[in-house]
Amino acid sequence: MSAPQAIPLNERRLANGLRLITVVDRTAPTATVNLWYHVGSKNERAGRTGFAHLFEHLMFQGSAHVSKAEHLSLIESVGGSANATTWLDRTNYFATVPAEWVELILWMEADRLGTLLDALDQANLDNQRDVVKNEKRSSYDNQPYGTAYLELLALSYPKGHPYHHPTIGSMEDLDAASLQDVREFFATWYAPNNAVLTVVGDIDEAEIVAAVERHFGAIPPNPALPAHPDLTIGAPLAGEIRKTVKDKVPDPRIHLAFRAPVLAHPDLPALEIACQILAGGRGSRLTRRLVRQEQVAQDAGLSVLPFVGGASLVVGSATLRPGADAATLERIFLEELRGLGERGPTTTEMERARALIESEEMALRSDPETIADQIGMYATLLNDPERINRDLEIYQAVDAAAVQRVAHEYLGDERVILWYEPVEAA
Amino acid sequence: MSVTRPGPGASRPYRFPRAIEGETANGLRIIVLPMPARPLASAQLILPSGASAETREGSGITAALARLLTEGGERHDADGLVEASELLGAKIGADAGWESLVIGATLPAGRLRGILDLIAEITVAPRLPEREIERVKALRLAAIDQAQASPRARASEALIAAIYDDAAAYSRPAGGTRESVAAIDRTALLARHQQLLAAGRPTIVIAGEIAPAAAIRTVQESPLAALTRGSGAASQPADAASTVSSERNGAPHLLLLDRPGSVQSELRIGRLGRSRLDPLFYAALVHAEILGGLFGSRLNRVLREEKGYTYGAAAGFEFRRGRGPFTARTAVESSVTAAALVEARTQLGSLATAPATEEELAAARQYLRGTFPLRFGTPSAVASAVTALVANELAADELDRFQTSVDAVPANAVAQVAEGLEAERERIVIVGDAATIEAPLRDAGFAVEVRSEPVKEDS
């Protein structure tokens, strides 16, 4: 296959430090505005877990010239959609609208970055605190196996490490959040020099630059932007860490976690391909062995959760088939991981993985929202927005020896094994 | 920063990809949707019969067949098939819906012929190995247990069962019930496979960066040319509503599925909805956005942004060839269950007493028309949308008219949709901790019927 055409990135920095990246893509009559702030749950202080995410909700509660809950309604009423997410390392806000409305979105983003505190009040904080607590109940506490990722983080990172606690936080800490916390967090982290603004779509680049200057130009930077916390992890996991959780689940499920290299590390792409070969679809090693041949599992998964400092995670899971033996499932799962490290992938497995990566890369490039988000990620976390244009080459260059080496190095005996088991019937 | 909100710049036109049609000598219909600058192609073969054609005893067999098609055909076994399709850069898959079984894949456009060969192979002569049949059945039974343990799935399934008559196909999960799945065997699967091949006219939809004439020729020269046009037996009516009264002694009936210790209650309120073929389809889309689709919908605005009862509340129609359900969904903290249910019902009924405002109508229309191009950036999204049109026997160019049809929805049509819904029986289901929520629900005037947790059967 010929190399795909490069995505044409146009980059500049405003005087206040805001990094602006534009990409003209006329395949659809839309424009995507995507803002990454380099702040996430790793920046929360003790006693305020969950705050970065609660704060993200408050960004939709109005600013000087936008009333409560108007932000999303206004975007919908011009024919667009929008959302935001918070994660350990970052927070992102994104909207896609018919291209003619792009300046409205830029104006709204600037209004909340410049004047959020003008509209902040206790009633809005209390309302969104209730909403977020219900989000925690819906997504974690009231779902079978729903707390697994909270457990995995806590078991994989030492107490006090910024990744030890989950982004959703604890109910007690959410209850403790005050207006003063909101003001301090906003003043500290929500500054143009801590943001990357990416605009992709059917746009005129000169018009976008002018509009961004007009709306964001006067927002002052934070000259005292604090350093991010130290993410260094001293010791490797002390061998195998095991835990069993009794929950309202129908069948036992195993979850695994391994510490993996950070986002910037050159081993990460090979590790992602190892996960693809082990658990990517029906023909992968774990699915073949656990689900089809030995028939001890209903499903099997393994994937990389990339983080910027200390260690990323490889997380896996498999649900026991009714009547099958849990110890057998665990033994085979680990056997397959070890097998890839000992003998490496076959030539065909590498060819299949490369062909699928190429298709996935093509699909990604058909979606302006994904393009914008990846650029924001690479600019914010790696200081390398052009990385998006080297991704395919980087993944295609991974060879069988590299896959074998990283599987051996990272998917070994230092690991977390977490079992969910059904509570006994009363 | 300026105080004045920027208005719109010059608007850009949008056109859904144009459908070009062809056929094979045996009558396979071919629909090609060219999408320039998208180097992928998505191919989806539609056999026009699905779960709505099943009896209660035979339910789930089309879904099981779909899962088993990828266990191999004449030339490849299951592993060989995955390998061959992944070497093309594709994950081949098959799925059963209410009206069709669809086999498809997405891959770099230059390799289209390779995937057509594989699709044809498993469609014409699937292996259906005994061992895999047993595995697929066992996994479906385990999935039924998983669904019962999930408050969301359990609430949704119970609501659907309450809306439809037991004899209607739509009353059941499309994957089948414990009893019907246990009864599936190879003979029944082979019979269902033959039925599907004879069910009507098969169609292949191909979207992506591909020249229509070349794509049509590729299909004509592929083994798919062996597929013939069936006699097309009409499927059974699948959507008969339940006639069980929705009141007990004058109070609204509420089915409470006990889940001791739940920290939230899953609320479902539903009624018989409308068909995809209903003349008021576009009005129903606008209606649903105003009521429970938009972030600023009546339901979400009050339950989330005003009261803080929930992370989100939504309502809408599920459109099928028959009359699919209209459902409202939310999960609320246990202690506010009764208050949230009362408020949700008030909002759901509000369009009958307080008609949609001009502002609400404009926002819903513009949201639907503006987000329309966003939904169709990829070849697989375009192919899937046209596949759904084919399954519902709509014209392949129906989506060309989407934006103008939405724009043309008048206020009185939205009111008509609201009135139509009010005329159907309301069903209420809650999954939650009965010890906490039963008494407040009774105090709020509901006739509560409590059902305890299902006991998991030993396997």
pLDDT in tens, chain A (426 residues): 455 789 999 999 999 999 999 999 998 999 999 999 999 999 999 999 999 999 999 999 999 999 988 999 999 999 999 999 999 999 999 999 999 999 999 999 999 999 999 999 999 999 999 999 999 999 999 999 999 999 999 999 999 999 999 999 999 999 999 999 999 999 999 999 999 999 999 999 999 999 999 999 999 999 999 999 999 998 889 899 999 999 999 999 999 999 999 999 999 999 999 999 999 989 999 999 999 999 999 999 999 999 999 999 999 999 999 999 999 999 999 999 999 999 999 999 999 999 999 999 999 888 999 999 999 999 999 999 999 999 999 999 999 999 999 999 999 999 999 999 999 754
Q: What pLDDT score does B236 carry? A: 67
The answer, for A128 touching chain B at a CB cutoff of 8 Å, is: yes
Nearest to B426 by CA among B446, B411, B451, B453: B446
Close Cβ partners of B7 (under 8 Å, ≥ 6 residues apart): A104
- Domain of A415 in residue numbering reads as 240-422
* Structure token digits, residue A162: 């910024």
Assess if residue A398 is contained within a domain: yes
- Shared domain check, B417 and B299: yes
What mean pLDDT is predicted for residues B84-98? Answer: 96
Q: What is chain B's Cα-based Rg?
A: 24
Cα B363 to Cα B381: distance, rounded to the nearest angstrom: 25
Which residue in chain A is spatially nearest to B362 when comparing CA positions?
A77
Sign of CA dihedral A156, A159, A163, A169: positive
Closest CA to B299 of B214, B360, B238: B360
What's the pLDDT at A426?
46
Amino acid (1-letter code) at residue B383: A
Q: Does B139 touch chain A (CB under 8 A)?
A: yes
From the list A100, A134, A321, the residue facing B8 with the nearest CB is A100
Q: A279 with A162, same domain? A: no
- Asked if residue A198 and residue A52 are part of one domain, the reply reads yes
> Which residue range is the domain that position B428 belongs to?
247-451
Q: What is the CATH number of the domain that holds B279?
A: 3.30.830.10
% of residues, chain B, pLDDT over 70? 97
The amino acid sitting at B132 is E
Which pLDDT tens digit goes with each residue over B392-429?
A: 999 999 999 999 999 999 999 999 999 999 999 999 99
Assembly ipTM: 0.94
Closest-CA distance, B46 to chain A, in angstroms, reads 22
- DSSP 8-state class, residue A219: S
Q: What is the pLDDT of residue A263?
A: 96
**Partners of residue B432 on adjacent β-strands:** B258
Give percent of chain B with pLDDT exceeding 90. 93
What tokens appear for A264 in the block?
């910037």
* pLDDT at residue A1, as a whole number: 45
In this predicted structure, what is the pLDDT of residue B410?
Answer: 97
A198 lies in the same domain as A268: no
Q: What is the dihedral of CA B292, B298, B301, B302, to 10 degrees?
A: -120
Residues B220 and B254 in one domain: no
Q: Which residues of A touch B11 (CB under 8 A)?
A: 29, 98-100
Same domain? For A146 and A250 the reply is no
* Contacts (Cβ under 8 Å, ≥6 apart) of B411: B355, B356, B358, B361
Hey, which bits of A169-309 come out as E strands?
195-201, 240-247, 253-260, 297-305
Q: Are A68 and A123 in contact (CB under 8 A)?
A: no
Strand partners, A195: A37
Interface check A67 vs B, CB under 8 A: no
**Interface mutation vs chain A, best among B133, B295, B309, most A CBs within 10 Å:** B295
Q: Based on C-alpha coordinates, what's the Rg of chain A?
A: 23
Q: Would you give the DSSP letter of residue A6?
A: P
Q: Is residue B233 part of a domain?
A: no
A359 and B459 within 8 Å at the Cβ level: the answer is: no
Q: Which residues of chain A have a CB within 8 Å of the CB of B142?
A: 250-251, 298, 319, 321-322
What whole-number distance in Å separates Cα of residue A348 and Cα of residue B7?
55
Q: Is residue B256 part of a domain?
A: yes
Residues B297 and B414 in one domain: yes
- On whether residue A231 sits in a domain, the answer given is no
Check residue B234 and give its pLDDT.
Answer: 60
Q: Give me the pLDDT at residue B458, please.
A: 47
- Residues B39-48 have pLDDT tens digits of 899 999 999 9
Query: Does B85 reside within a domain?
Result: yes
Q: Are residues B205 and B264 in the same domain?
A: no
Q: What is the pTM of this model?
A: 0.95
Do A274 and A361 have their domain in common?
yes
Model confidence at B11, in pLDDT bands (50, 70, 90)?
confident
Contacts of A1 in chain B (CB under 8 A): 108, 110
The DSSP code for B297 is S
Is the CB of B9 less than 8 angstroms away from the CB of A102? yes
Given CB atoms, is A118 within the 8 Å cutoff of chain B?
A: no
Domain shared by B209 and B260, yes or no: no
HSE-CB at A146 with a 13 A cutoff on CA atoms is 18
Domain count for chain B: 2
Same structural domain for residues A89 and A155? yes
Q: For position A424, what pLDDT does the model report?
A: 74
Number of independent structural domains in chain A: 2
How far apart (Å, rounded) are the C-alpha atoms in residues A93 and A109?
9
Q: Are residues A71 and A177 in the same domain?
A: yes
**CB within 8 Å of chain B, chain A residues 318-337:** 319, 321-323
Backbone phi, then psi, for A61, in 5-degree steps? Answer: -100, 15
Compute the mean pLDDT over every residue in chain B, rounded to the nearest whole number.
Answer: 95
Please answer whether residues A31 and A97 qualify as being in contact, where contact means their C-beta atoms are separated by less than 8 angstroms. Answer: yes
| Chain B residue with Cα closest to A110 | B1
Tokens linked to B265: 């209650």
* B373 & B412 share domain: yes
B407 interfaces chain A, CB cutoff of 8 Å: no
Task: Tell me which amino acid residue B272 is.
Answer: L
